[in-house]
Amino acid sequence: MDLHTLATTVARHPIALWLLGMTAGALLGSGALWALKTLRHRPSPVRHLLHAASATTVMLLSMAAAACALLAGGALMAELAEDWQHTGTRSRVDEGIAQQLRLHADMAALRWFGALTHLGDTAVLTTLTLAVTAALWWRRHRLLAVGWLVAMAGNGLLTKILKDVFARVRPEHVHGAAQADGFSFPSGHSSASMVAYAMLAYLAVRLLPRAWQLPAVCCAGALIFTTGWSRVVLHVHYVSDVLAGWVLGGTWMVCTVLIMDSMARWRGAPAALARQ
């Protein structure tokens, strides 16, 4: 499939591709949950060494792993931005899809995705952040409350800094179904929804009964894709903006969880994360 055909397909079938993407997101979430549970219950030399290591050693190793994750995420984001930085022009994929969306996007679909995109709005996620923080604190899950707050606030700060660093101009959007200001790369809606819904899935796995865990993880994957895809369909972001947002949010969320888990062990209680 050539670029023109791909771009035209995206522009003319946004609902169908959204449904496929949500399914893929749910499957990825369920796969991650299966892998996590499999690794947790399967003996391995690494787990044996971590169990025997001191809490301080585990924390240092977690910090090193988080640093590696940040470097890997940064490298992926740099790759996504490379065409723009080196040539000063839009990538062919980005511009091709954006141009076809301007030509073929249906107003009914634009209004639909204009409603869905609020899943990543600052006001919505700020309200969610405060509500979840308060609920966790009230239930005495203090470490989880702090970790959740750091994940959300830290991602917001990183996104703002990176937008100013890359200073990429948004695609043209004059349809009126959505408005967006500021720089484009990375997508703030995509990164924030990745952190918020992935962290909620993590909290569900830690705190909820087993029967609720798979639905929560699948729902998180679907919501993450929905938010990012809505930004592309509304052509307020390029595809690479959304991909970079997912990379940023996913990397920051993984780093937060690594440090949070090591903090629980450092505090001297193997099950502290589940209780505090």
Residue 237 has pLDDT above 90, yes or no: no
Closest residue by Cα to residue 249 from 201, 162, 190, 207: 190
The structural domains of the chain, with segments of one domain joined by +, span 55-81+94-171+185-275
Residue 35 has pLDDT above 60, yes or no: yes
φ, ψ at 31 (rounded to 5°): -65, -40
Confidence at residue 129, expressed as pLDDT on a 0 to 100 scale: 94
Q: How many CA atoms lie within 13 A of 2 on its CB side?
A: 1
Closest residue by Cα to residue 188 from 160, 218, 223, 147: 160
Q: Which residue has the higher pLDDT, 203 or 4?
A: 203
Helix 188-207 with 14-41: angle, nearest 10 deg: 40
Q: Which residue has the higher pLDDT, 120 or 104?
A: 120
Confidence at residue 171, expressed as pLDDT on a 0 to 100 scale: 77
Confidence at residue 259, expressed as pLDDT on a 0 to 100 scale: 80
Q: Which residue has the higher pLDDT, 59 or 142?
A: 142
Q: What separation in angstroms does the CA of 145 have from each of 176, 202, 216, 264? A: 38, 12, 18, 13
Amino acid letter, 213: Q
Residue 55 has pLDDT above 80, yes or no: no
Q: Which pLDDT band, with edges at 50, 70 and 90, does 89 fall under?
A: very low
Q: How far apart are CA 11 and CA 18, in angstroms?
A: 12
| Angle CA 98–245–176, to nearest 5 | 40
**pLDDT (mean) for 181-204:** 90
Closest residue by Cα to residue 249 from 202, 204, 198, 203: 198
Tell me the pLDDT of the chain averaged across its residues.
77
Please state the pTM of the whole predicted model.
Answer: 0.82
Beta carbons within 10 angstroms of residue 216's beta carbon: 18
**Cβ-contact 58, 258 below 8 angstroms:** no
Q: Provide the token pair at 183.
A: 């720089």
Q: What percent of the chain has pLDDT over 90?
A: 23
Helix 142-166 with 239-266: angle, nearest 10 deg: 150
Helix 107-116 with 210-233: angle, nearest 10 deg: 130
**Cβ-contact 177, 114 below 8 angstroms:** yes
Who's near 60: CB < 8 A, 6+ residues apart? none
Confidence at residue 195, expressed as pLDDT on a 0 to 100 scale: 94
Q: Which pLDDT band, with edges at 50, 70 and 90, does 112 fall under?
A: confident
* Residues comprising the chain, all counted: 276
Span of 77-86, 88-97, 234-243 with lowest mean pLDDT? 77-86
Q: Provide the token pair at 272.
A: 């502290």
Residue 1 has pLDDT above 80, yes or no: no
Could you tell me the fold of the domain covering 55-81+94-171+185-275?
Answer: Vanadium-containing Chloroperoxidase; domain 1 (1.20.144)
Q: What separation in angstroms does the CA of 11 have from each of 54, 81, 135, 228, 233? A: 54, 23, 41, 15, 7
